[in-house]
Structure 1
């Protein structure tokens, strides 16, 4: 009749025990969080006495996974940024100009002299030739520079479109290449922002693409939106460009293919540079704060093989010429090349403080943002507001919890108490699962837990009502309990499967807070079904085996 195999009983209690152990760190939240931060710092190389003492505040043999608190619970910063993808088109055309110039120079007999013209359309290259009759030959030569588009949607397309307007060749990016570049730019921006935020040790940031060219950034625990902008807002676009001349005239016209860039440290000094860089920060593999030969803060850097080859070739061919190191459109240093620099390594010097050299190294290691970002929305949520949300969530959960416990005890007596024990274990199992996957708990997530508290006893209500009906047919208590669980099972499974499907849809289609609600709801459904079908039933069976009552009241 009412029998559960020993191995099933052991498995049920082991599952409950594991869930309780995984949930335990959340009871000692601050202590475990301090331990985790210290362990992370030690792993990063900061093996200090303070970190070792902090790591010892929690036993290493116990799990240390926590349910992370989201932005609305911990406080922090929220930014919505728009990536200026058109800037990438312009940079691509600027980089293409030397190739176009060289290929047309080789055909000077046909096309005549060439001159770069300014364009009113961003991301477009206009080249004027003196021999209008050679326009077809010039277009053919420039089309030879086209490359296949590297994307699934652009298969079979080339990256540039070339057309002629009288004696002017107009080069622009193809639509397929623009789409591919947009996707690459957004993916690169997301990855670089994530790396920069991870560098400063923040917990569980939310960084995701929204729409066509926008990025949502939410970082719990950070002081303000301004602080977050300081971390991610600097583009750190590093380039190494040839120097044509130095001037103090801010109105000097640099000429086609060149640009006028101010010096960072010398006010009123400007450099005329070639627009096309020899090497860019994208080819850096490492950057570390250091000191130069005079003991001043500096930054050591290394290039990848491609960048090292270009850097070495240029320094070998231009000994005695100045070479500008440009950061975010400012010349931070313009040393004269003294000798060939092989190996792809070097040092950036300037009037840095130790903090500035360290910050610059962090930005360069994380990589350069491919395009400028405009911040459309920024909010700072203070820790006090986050604490208010936590307090409100606690009150809502406790009220729901107590109300359900009282209702079940008054409605179903001893069986209601068994259901209440299972409900308490159910909440612990939810937090155990959330801790296991390192989930982030938000205010909507607390709402999901509160909803789960109400739904968790639903299965027990179905079972207990079914047992009541069986008792009215004069069946014995053991048979009534067995039939109650058997006949209520289909209704329990159907109801919870449909709700679980809803939770999955919310998770797949939603974002941010909606996903937090869906995760806690989904986990709550799984744990409530487990506790209702297995834990409550096992408690009733254990009680029944010991008491062997002739009659029962539900």
Structure 2
């Protein structure tokens, strides 16, 4: 009885774990803000089983390097870099399970489940990433020109808070010789349409804007009146991330030189690591010979200055300081920042070196209604298949078949819990793999039941026949399941999205079937025989 009790405890724990995995959970999802049009994080509660493109609809794009604007020597390398670029941009869609993978040598597949606008997807993905290095406004030309810019905006009808003063810049930025750890909140009421919305950052050329004022400042710096009075030789770029200073979110605005030192076309390699001597996070990068010569000349003239790394018009992280001349091989020191920040920066550097634009060679838009129809059809087909299996098992094996069918309910629960716990996406081929693994689960029971029948025909007792049936059928069950799992694993390695979905579901289903067909059904037999110790025949 203690063996039955321990088995029931194990089955109960697996049941509780599976139910817990399938309970609705809060997930962070990026959605467009209807007021600002920018992406924001929101929390939604849903069952943690993700549906693939073919089940919930979305956009499928196949892209290749566009060689009409000039030959590309190595399209495979270009596609590898394009993959990194697309992955960095995929957050704009708010897709929970995007698929970005290389097929063959020179084709990139992008699948955005739930996305309804193919033109928007193409527009964002096909942008050629542009990486450049620029020096920040070390002479504070932008800061010194703020009074003139405020006056020009005031003449254009853009007014700041009431009660202006002649020394607006002094009130706004205070003593520039002192370093501040964050924005000076006492300067919120500084006068001027633009200066009242800016706070001095931690380095030259860096300004902080409260997140709620981002849209207003962005519209101001794009006005023609502002552009006419902006200091010559400077450009303004927003930081890529929203930063928290205190309890408020801020966005960085950088004034940088309008002439780039070099662009991403000169970059060949970038890796992140920790310095063995200082334990600081650093990024090593390698340039072409031409780029290294030019970079060495420029960085030699700007030792001690800050260098902004700009990708697609956004400054990536806080600009690092140039500590010495950098030539073909450079080192960007990030100080005490975590290694993940260095890895992200290395990714940005590599992604920015896209040598050619992308062209769409295949496009498919799958509507959500088609996805729902696929789910309904798959459920119908699966229900018919399972019903036939249940009918045959109960009709042919009677009581033993009933025990196997009872174990199938746990099999379904365990399989779905496996998909949820590992975060795999359920696709239409995955549903096919799920139904197929149902057959594999009862196939193991068929082997066991036939072996029990054979033992009973030899005149053995019921309990002995059951024990011998499970024992002698185990080798065949393990061999067949292992060979099927290995085949599914190979399919996962060499296949694309749909084939991988089929393989993953099949592998998880095989693992669940081994538990239910062998362990659970054996437990049911033990309970049945425990209640009827004098049984001389078995319904099998």
Q: Give the TM-score normalised by structure 1.
A: 0.57
Q: Give a deviation string over 1:423-478, Cα, whole Å, max 9, x none.
A: 11111111111111111111111110111112210111111122122222222211
Tell me if 1:407 matches 2:389. no
Change (3 A) 1:347 1:542: closer
CA–CA distance in 2 between the matches of 1:15 and 1:67?
18
From 530, 534, 538, the equivalent of 1:545 is 530
Query: In the alignment, is the contact (CA less than 8 A) between 2:492 and 2:499 conserved in 1?
Result: yes
From 287, 292, 300, the equivalent of 2:238 is 300
**Which residue does 2:433 correspond to in 1?**
448
Residue 500 of structure 1, CA deviation? 1.4
CA–CA distance in 2 between the matches of 1:228 and 1:293?
24
Matched positions, count: 362
Residue 286 of structure 1, CA deviation? 13
CA–CA distance in 2 between the matches of 1:465 and 1:3?
28
Moved more, 183-192 or 478-487: 183-192
Residue 20 of structure 1, CA deviation? 3.3
Superposed, which structure 2 residues align to 1:45-56 within 5 Å? none
Q: Give the TM-score normalised by structure 2.
A: 0.58
**Which residue does 1:500 correspond to in 2?**
485
Change (3 A) 1:295 1:342: farther
Query: In the alignment, is the contact (CA less than 8 A) between 1:290 and 1:300 conserved in 2?
Result: no
CA–CA distance in 1 between the matches of 2:517 and 2:124?
49
**Which residue does 1:397 correspond to in 2?**
382
SS of aligned partner of 2:220:
coil
**Which residue does 1:203 correspond to in 2?**
96
From 235, 238, 254, the equivalent of 2:128 is 235
Moved more, 540-549 or 414-423: 540-549
Residue 236 of structure 1, CA deviation? 4.6
Superposed, which structure 2 residues align to 1:239-388 within 5 Å? 295-296=220-221, 299-301=237-239, 342-344=305-307, 361=314, 368=352, 369-388=354-373
Tell me if 1:191 matches 2:84. yes
Q: Give a deviation string over 1:508-551, Cα, whole Å, max 9, x none.
A: 22122111111111111111111111001001111221232422
**Which residue does 1:423 correspond to in 2?**
408
Query: In the alignment, is the contact (CA less than 8 A) between 2:60 and 2:110 conserved in 1?
Result: yes
CA–CA distance in 1 between the matches of 2:441 and 2:501?
19
Query: In the alignment, is the contact (CA less than 8 A) between 1:287 and 1:362 conserved in 2?
Result: no
SS of aligned partner of 1:4:
helix
**Which residue does 1:134 correspond to in 2?**
none
CA–CA distance in 2 between the matches of 1:188 and 1:498?
37
**Which residue does 2:49 correspond to in 1?**
67
Tell me if 1:217 matches 2:110. yes
Residue 326 of structure 1, CA deviation? 13
Query: In the alignment, is the contact (CA less than 8 A) between 1:500 and 1:522 conserved in 2?
Result: yes
Q: Give a deviation string over 1:149-176, Cα, whole Å, max 9, x none.
A: xxxxxxxxxxxxxxxxxxxxxxxxxxxx
Change (3 A) 1:23 1:547: farther
Change (3 A) 1:475 1:16: same
Superposed, which structure 2 residues align to 1:50-129 within 5 Å? 66-84=48-66
Tell me if 1:533 matches 2:518. yes
5+ residue gaps, structure 2: 135-205, 223-235, 241-253, 265-301, 318-344
Moved more, 205-214 or 433-442: 205-214
5+ residue gaps, structure 1: 26-31, 59-63, 91-121, 124-177, 242-284, 303-310, 316-321, 329-339, 349-358
CA–CA distance in 1 between the matches of 2:263 and 2:370?
39
Superposed CA RMSD in Å reads: 4.2
Query: In the alignment, is the contact (CA less than 8 A) between 1:76 and 1:219 conserved in 2?
Result: yes
Change (3 A) 1:294 1:509: closer
Query: In the alignment, is the contact (CA less than 8 A) between 2:239 and 2:315 conserved in 1?
Result: no
**Which residue does 1:19 correspond to in 2?**
18
From 422, 441, 453, the equivalent of 1:437 is 422
CA–CA distance in 2 between the matches of 1:417 and 1:477?
17
Q: Give a deviation string over 1:81-134, Cα, whole Å, max 9, x none.
A: 1124797xx8xxxxxxxxxxxxxxxxxxxxxxxxxxxxxxx68xxxxxxxxxxx
Query: In the alignment, is the contact (CA less than 8 A) between 1:239 and 1:326 conserved in 2?
Result: yes
**Which residue does 2:153 correspond to in 1?**
none
Change (3 A) 1:452 1:373: same
Query: In the alignment, is the contact (CA less than 8 A) between 1:235 and 1:371 conserved in 2?
Result: yes
Query: In the alignment, is the contact (CA less than 8 A) between 1:65 and 1:438 conserved in 2?
Result: no
Query: In the alignment, is the contact (CA less than 8 A) between 1:400 and 1:453 conserved in 2?
Result: no
Query: In the alignment, is the contact (CA less than 8 A) between 2:63 and 2:359 conserved in 1?
Result: yes
Change (3 A) 1:346 1:460: closer
Residue 343 of structure 1, CA deviation? 2.6
Query: In the alignment, is the contact (CA less than 8 A) between 2:4 and 2:523 conserved in 1?
Result: no
Change (3 A) 1:347 1:209: closer
Q: Give a deviation string over 1:66-87, Cα, whole Å, max 9, x none.
A: 2211111111111111124797
Superposed, which structure 2 residues align to 1:131-142 within 5 Å? none
CA–CA distance in 2 between the matches of 1:347 and 1:20?
47
Residue 225 of structure 1, CA deviation? 2.0
Change (3 A) 1:441 1:193: same
CA–CA distance in 2 between the matches of 1:292 and 1:5?
71
Change (3 A) 1:68 1:191: same
SS of aligned partner of 1:498:
helix
